[in-house]
Amino acid sequence: MIGCEESGTVRRAFRDLHHDAWSCDLLPARDGSAHHWQEDILKLLERDPLWDLVLFHPQCKFLGLCQAWRRHPSASDCDLYGLESSNTTWRLEQREKAVEFATRLWNAPIKHIALENPKSILSTRMAKKSQTIHPWQFGHPEQKETWLWLKNLPPLRPTDNVYDKMMKLPKKDRERVFYASPGENRSRDRSRTYEGIAKAMATQWSEYILSL
C-alpha cells in the first residue's frame, strides 16, 4: 500500500514487478488507475490492516523545515480558508495536526513501514530519520534532499550515481523542482516521487521482504 500518493509513481513501480500494489489519497489517482482508493488512509488501514509493506508520503506543507520560519498562513491559504494573514494560531494548529497524522501512520500495526518527507520536523517530533537520499543517486541529475523513516526495512542502495553529470548543469536545472513556476499543480508536482527512487523502493524492499 502506498499511502498519500495520487500520482501513482510508486504504485506503478511495484505493479511493474507484479506485486499487488495499491495507492490511497484524498485526491483521485492522477493516472486514472483502478488500483487506487480515494479516501483517508487511516480509515483504510483500520478497515484492512493486513499489508506486507506500507509506504507513506504525508504532505510536507506544514512539516518541512523550509516552512519552520513561517508563523502566518500564506496568501493562498488565506484565500482558500478565509483567514486573516495575521492568524498565527491557525498555522501552528495545522503543524500539530500534520505531526499527529504522520505519527499515527508511523505507528500503524504494519511490520514493514517506510515514511518519506523532505527535511522535516518529524525527525525531532516523531522519530529520528533513518536515511537521507537524493535523486542524483538514482539516475536523476537533480538535487532534492529527501528523508526516509524505515521500520524493519534496509536503507535504499543507490542505483545510478549521476552526481558529476548533475554538477555540470546550471543551478536552475539541478534544483528544477524549486524553480517550478507557480500554478495549481505546483505543490503536488514538486512532491512527486522520482521514478528512479520509486523503482529502487519497489525492487529492493520487495526483494528484502520476499527473502525473509
pTM of the model: 0.88
Per-residue pLDDT at 82: 74
Q: Where are any strands of DSSP class E within 35-141?
A: 36-38, 53-56, 112-118, 131-133
Domains (ranges, CATH) in the chain? 2-211 (3.40.50)
- From the list 60, 53, 211, 80, the residue with the least C-alpha distance to 145 is 60
* Helices then strands, each counted (H, E), the chain: 10, 7
- From the list 9, 4, 3, 57, the residue with the least C-alpha distance to 33 is 9
Cα-trace Rg, the chain: 17
The enclosing H or E element of 151 equals strand 146-151
Local mean pLDDT, 10-residue blocks, the chain (212 residues) = 97 98 97 97 96 94 64 68 73 84 96 94 93 97 95 98 96 82 60 93 98 96
